[in-house]
Amino acid sequence: MARYILQHLSQTLLVLLIVSFLTYLLVDFLPGDPIAAMTGGEISGETYERLYYELNMDKPVLVRYFLWLKGALTGDLGMSQSYHRRVADIIAERVPVTIYLSLLAFVISVPLGIIFGIISAVKRGSAADTTVTLTANVCCCLPQFWLGILFMYVFAMKLGWLPSSGFVWPHENLGLSIKQTIMPLLCLAIGGIASITRQTRSSMLEVIRQDYIRTARSKGLKNKKVIYIHALKNALLPVITLMGLRLGGLVGGSVFVENVFVIPGMGSLLVNAITSVDIPLIQGCVLLIAVFSSVVNLITDIVYVYVDPRIKVA
């Protein structure tokens, strides 16, 4: 067990090392002179020289990478050129907002998705199944940003029920916070519900075809028992993988929602960083998001040990 976790932990660390290197390399791929790009090109010779050494441009890329990595490990991700503040500080401010929204969306979408998936698999071919499957297929394809604008138009502008944008924490102003969170949350959750529904349904249908389900039926078990005891446990295993992927991806997926509803989270920060070519900030954001999703992956792997008896043996 400990061995298994250790093995996966070391794998995760290796992957993160590669990610960080790739992220750092982004800078080298940037077209033109990075300093000129960062500052807009209108700077004096001294500033240029100062930045040149500050960014260690005189050293080879590997050395620069290790210097940056050393900083990153101690929590120093450099200075943001556009915010003129430490990258680590900016990120620390933004991360909780995104995580808060993502986790809420995740908590909503998992049970709903699983329930819808089971209903549609068990009642395969029925009107309920057709409705659920069709709705899920459509919801998977709706562009999140457009959904946000649609909600904004309907609920904020036409009906006036909800504020059109902004973000406050619940402890600052509970009522406003709830009102402000509803629309972004819906946008984030709809895709998750749809994809978990689809995965649960298909993996249920897959499991129902297996030999051991025939064995269970040959024992004379009730159909319900066959489904809820023998099939469901097996069918939910692949759903766990998807849940991990969703959670890891939610942080990235919040980009659009944060943009539409003007929420100060990681997503909008990343977009700002890109549009203002703020290299240290880009690197910091990408690295952090990658760390987050690897940690989620690692947790998924560990969860598997507890729920899938096949792993203990292997």
Partner 1 sequence: MSQANVSVEPNAKALLKANKAKKRKQFFRALFSRKIVLVSAIIVMIIILVAVFAYQIMPFDPNKPAVRDRNQGPSATHLLGTDEFGRDVLSRIIIGSRVSLIVGVLAVIIACVIGTTLGMIAGYFGGFVDDVISRVAEAVRVIPQVVLAIALCAVFGGGILNMSIILGISNMTVYIRMMRSQVLSIKERDYIMAGRLQGNSSARLMLRHILPNSISPIIVTMTQQIGGTILSEAGLSFLGLGISTPTASWGTLVSGGRAYLLTNPVYSLAPGVCIALLVICLNSLGDGVRDALDPRLRGEL
Partner 2 sequence: MANKHLLEIKNLVTTFRSDGKEFNAIEGVNMHVDRGEIVGIVGESGSGKSVTMLSSLQLIASPGRVAGGEVYLEGVKDNLLSFESDSEQMRQIRGGRISMIFQEPMTSLNPVLTVGYQIQENILLHKNVTPEEAKKRTIEAMKMVNIPDAETRYDYYPQQFSGGMRQRIMIAMAMAPGPDILIADEATTALDVTTQAQLLEMIRDIAKKTNTAVIMVTHNLGLVARYAERIYVMYGGHIMETSDCKQIFHNTKHPYTRALLRAIPRLDDPKDRVLIPIDGLPPVPSQRPAYCPFYARCEYRCDACKDNTDYSLRLVDDNHWSSCILTQEQLDQKAEELLHKDYGASPVRKQSSKYCLKVSDVRKYFPVYKGLLRKKVGEVKAIEDITFDLKQGETLGVVGESGCGKTTLARCIMRMYEPDEGKIIFGGKDIAHLKDKDLKPVRPKISMIFQDPFSSLDPRQSAESIVGESLLIHHLAANRAEYEQKVDELFRKVGMDPAMKDRVAHEFSGGQRQRIGIARALSSNPDLIICDEPISALDVSIQAQIINLLENIQAEMGISYIFIAHDLAVVKHISDRILVMYLGRVMEIATCDELYEHPLHPYTQALLSAIPVADPVVEEQREAVPIQGEVPSILKRPSGCPFHNRCPRATERCKQETPQLRTIEGEHQVACHLL
Q: Which residue ranges make up the site for partner 2 (CB under 8 A)?
A: 7, 10-11, 14, 210-212, 214-223, 229-230, 233-234, 237, 308-310, 312-314
Q: Centre a 10 Å sphere on the Cβ of residue 159 and count the other Cβ atoms it contains.
A: 9
List, in sequence order, every residue forming a beta bridge with 86; answer none if it has no partner: 79
- Other residues' Cβ atoms within 10 Å of the Cβ of residue 293: 19
User: CB under 5 to 8 A by kind: which of partner 2, partner 1, none does 309 bind?
Assistant: partner 2
Taking the complex as a whole, the smallest distance from the CB of residue 119 to partner 1 amounts, in Å, to 15
253 binds, among partner 1, partner 2, none (CB under 5 to 8 A by kind): partner 1
> How near is the Cβ of 289 to partner 2 at its closest, in Å?
25
Contact present, 167 and 97 (Cβ < 8 Å): yes
Per DSSP, the residues of 8-21 read HHHHHHHHHHHHHH
Q: What are phi and psi of 86, to 5 degrees?
A: -70, 135
Residue 233 interface partner, choices partner 2, partner 1, none, CB cut-off 5-8 Å depending on type: partner 2
Give 106 or 256: the residue with its C-beta nearer to partner 1.
256
The listed partner (partner 1, partner 2, none) that binds 146, CB under 5 to 8 Å by sort, is partner 1
Closer to partner 2 by CB, 45 or 125: give it: 125
Backbone φ, ψ for residue 168 (5° rounding): -130, 155
Distance of closest approach, residue 171 Cβ to partner 1, in angstroms:
29
Q: Report, in Å, the least distance between residue 228 CB and partner 2.
A: 12
- The site partner of 308 among partner 2, partner 1, none (C-beta below 5 to 8 Å per kind) is partner 2
With beta carbons less than 8 A apart as the criterion, state whether 12 and 300 touch.
no
Specify the residue, 31 or 220, whose C-beta has the smaller distance to partner 2. Answer: 220
Q: Which long-range CB contacts under 8 A does 167-174 form with residues at least 24 apart? A: 167/97, 167/261, 167/262, 167/263, 167/264, 167/265, 169/100
CB of 312 to partner 2, least distance (A): 8
Beta-bridge mates of residue 171 = none
